[in-house]
Structure 1
Amino acid sequence: MVGSLAAFVSARSASGIVGLASVAACLAVSVATGWTAPLLVVAAAAPCLSAAVASRMGRSAPAYFISGTGFGILAAASAGSSPLGLLPLLLVLLAAEPADALLSNHRRGFLAASVGSMLAFAAVISAALPTDAAASWAAPILILQVAVQAAVSAKLRSQGATVRRPERSSPIEDTVPIAAIGDLVTWHDAFGDVLRASAASGRLLGAAPRALAGGGLLARVHVSDRPIYLKSLSDAANGVEPVRVEFRVHRDRSDEPDQGHASRTSGAVVWVEMRAHPLRRPGHDQAGAAVLAVTRDVSDQRRHAEELETARLEAERANEIKGRFLATVSHELRTPLNAIIGFSELLSADHPFLLTEERRKEYAHIIRGSGHHLLEIVNTLLDMSKIETGNFNFEPEPFGLRELAASTCDLIQLKADEAGVRIERRLDSGLPEIVADRRACRQILINLISNAVKFTPRGGLVTVSLGMADEEVVIGVADTGIGIPETDLPRLGDPFFQSGDVHRRSHEGTGLGLSVVRGLVGLHRGRMSIESGSGAGTTVTVSLPLEAGDDVLPAKPAVVHTLTRLPVRQPERMSA
């Protein structure tokens, strides 16, 4: 490559722009028939494409192939519309791109340019050569592109002749203890190529300093970060202030020990910070170096920053949960406490003869129900706390899940009858015994079936199913209730979260039912999914392994996978 990657890109960009402008002028004044016009456009644009490939990939061989292909197409098109005496000149121009690669001491580029130009020339020659008026412009366009490219390359080569990697150290190495600096120090020319690198390259990148020379460091920069890397060097070379940038680099795979550094595994991607300083003072550059860059590993710092960000988000989430807890629990406690206090005052009135025996029993029944509701809230909070802190008494044992599901349905049947909701059971009779925590599984079933009955209007249906799939027991609870809006689905299972407007809801509850289910399913290493939609009912599916060992703790709550259900599906379910 001429001088550097930047020199190659500059020369090809100028050549392509001139070529495309010439083609535009050609097509404006000449008539093109057949495939002459697209052929000229593709050939003239080839240098621009090669410049883009070189800039993006940091490799010149593919770029040389593309540029050589464009010259080959133009040479072949010129052969069909030019006199025979011009043929030797066309062959010389055809060899322009391989010759440029040779001058740049780029063997792979020479082979790529030679193959590309010869293949393109042979392909166009073997086809019907264009002979229209537009084709006669091919030779002038080719000559103009080669001339522009040669002129730009020659100018850049003359500028870069003084920035070759020196054999001897410059005064900066005598004044700065480079070997004592743990960070990688590199000198770059005006085009961003590395002229020299310190010995710290082995610790940071697993590569010898000479391996980074030229475009060696660029080749190790992550492909997505190469633009910011090149821009930072360009800004430093053309500015007066240091430039700081963070990007990713690939470590070389080697057999050298990594000294236990977590981010220095062979072949790993390492986050680094580079500070590029412009060199302007005499005696402080290295044989034409324009930029001095100091690069250090910041993987640990970035990991620490990510951990801090995660902790911040967790703290915000905990604060949000606390707010929901206070709002929800205060509402749930106030209602039964008001009932207990009010009816207790009536029973302890000075004129007990004003209350009939039947009314006294009714008030006592209300007080008893309110007390049980308070006890249920406290027990739910205790269960949730035990699950989150890892103190839940998890005792797996073999038992029949079908019998447990049947008894749970019997338990909730009375509540369903009072609400006018029918419970349909589809329990597979051939299920094997499951090794799990019986109390936890019972709580899962109670919470899911109770929720389904609570949010299903009178005359609705709740279906409880039990089956096997992929060596797992699958529990399904489906209802024809009010459903869950799509916007609330992602937050299902969060502690104290309740779908809809909390202040206008017509159902009591703390919003911990699904959260407790998530935690209990997580203890069993199970999976959980919810399919619902506004007005389309809800289906909750829980999959548990056949055997949950004693080593499942500590465990995280199961991830809830959600799927939006369209309202039009509700009639299909009702008719099933």
Structure 2
Amino acid sequence: MRSLKVFGARNGRDPALAGVGNRPELLRRKTIGNNSRLLLAAGVLAVGPALYALVTGAPLALLVTSIVLGGALTALAMHQRGQFDHSAMAQVATLMAAGLVLTIADPRFADAGLAMALLGPVLAALVARSSMRRVSWLALLPIIAIALASTLLGLPANPLPDAQLLPASGLGFAIAFAVVAYSAHHINSAFEVHDKAQIDAYRHLIEHVQDAVLRFAADGQVMLASRSAEPLFGCARYQLSGNSLVERVHVLDRPAFLTAFSDASQLGRSRTIEVRMRQDDPRAGSSVPRFIWVEAQLAPILDETASEEAHEVIALLRDITSRKDTEAAMAEARRVAEDASQAKSRFLATIGHELRTPLNAVVGFSEMMTSGIGGQLTGTHKEYAGLIHQSGRHLLEVVSMLLDMSRIEAGKFEIQAEQIAPADIVPACFAMVETMAQARSVRLLSEIEADLPMLTADERVCRQILINLLSNAIKFSHEGGQVSVAVKRQGQSISLSVRDRGIGMAPAALDRIGEPFFQVQDGLTRKYEGTGLGLSIVKGLVELHGGTLRAISEVGTGTTITVLLPINGPATKASETAEIVPLHREPLAAALPLWQKETRKAQ
């Protein structure tokens, strides 16, 4: 049995609080008010026959009429005060009270009074809340018990004749039947209007949504296609009926499409995939089919009452060809960039090896000439030989940097990790840059923490890292400045910090620390020489050790660059270093969505 209760608020809350636009609730209230007026009108019309029956010696009809009039007036007054639920309950109580009077007056079990009382819960099921419906059914139990007791015990002892019972019983049952029939008819009309409005709203939504909407039967037949499907497939929607949609799917993507449809229909799982589908073009002069990329969202229509194992499926289709073209262009651009990077690395490695051999000869023979091995030189020739030796060594250092950079980028720079003492690295590196520091009158200071643990690392690489940092710090220091090196333990890492009081860097330049060939002062007029590879090599070598490179700088006050190297080496084990707090983490590559994986399977 239908009830307007399903459209109202739940949990006993007033649906009027949900908004004025709750049309079903307004209709329920209107039905309750009309029932009150109908009861009042029926009672007024029954007053005349009841008075006539009273004159003829049958007061029962007047009693029933009085109960109906009293209940109708009470219900109408509550309705006008806005107490709609109480008004509905007053109507139900009126029918059941009148039925109780007739049941007591008539000793027969199946009488009109019991029938009238039974219509009370029926009316409650139509217009009242669920709690009130339960109360009405519970209130019916005593009436049934009274009727049963009257039948078994033969009460009352002097039953009224049928001439008095029939008018009262017929009048009461007619009034109750009229109220229940009106409520049922009104509610049925409300459901028809509501269902039609819902269907019209869904139809309007389907026809005007941007994505194409398709409804599939459980066997895959297309049952419905929206208007937006026509521009997507380039054909009238009636041409999509049957199994024609599967024929439009690219032959390489059909397994993925059929698998997704099976998951939705058989297993009741929603799936989203990307497939290629044929798009018709009547104006095309070529017979070669045109395929577009379509994102298909397949969702099962779950019906708990259906006995079939397979479900109907709703599909939302969207044209994503432009997005796919963009992704393909980006992938191609990335491939070209990667190829260019590899070509650059190969070029650097090749040219580096080709230059190193003759440069070694230039440096070696120029050093022999300056030392007088080949004979005594004049002052001018000796000066020229010194310039050749100095330039050769500079070029050899540049070539070595290029080779190191190319090996790091190619992943061919091998690390030989072993146990070393961090404190022993600093003096050896100071000796390597001492000449450079003396040329600029820069003092070298060191601060080494006592009782440092042994460090698992490549000693040659660690020296190269520190030498590059010291060379940079000395180069960008002022005349007569100082460069300090601090070595200490920081958590499960060894910290190597190099600080200078030189020119410093701006925040924009600081963000680009580690980029190959980047220099704070660029252009042909720059004051400081260099290739811009020193810090990029340092960063690569630190990352090969599983470490971190950090820089703090301010223009005019100097720069501090800190390197953190794991104590246990590149392959740090949690069991050996206990709890480790990572200080640096590279961004992880985003996992591929499910629909991309499905597309790759189909391709």
Please give the range of the TM-score, normalised by the shorter of the 2 chains: 0.3 to 0.5
Question: Larger Cα Rg: Structure 1 or Structure 2?
Answer: 2
TM-score normalised to the size of structure 1? 0.46
**TM-score, normalised relative to structure 2:** 0.45
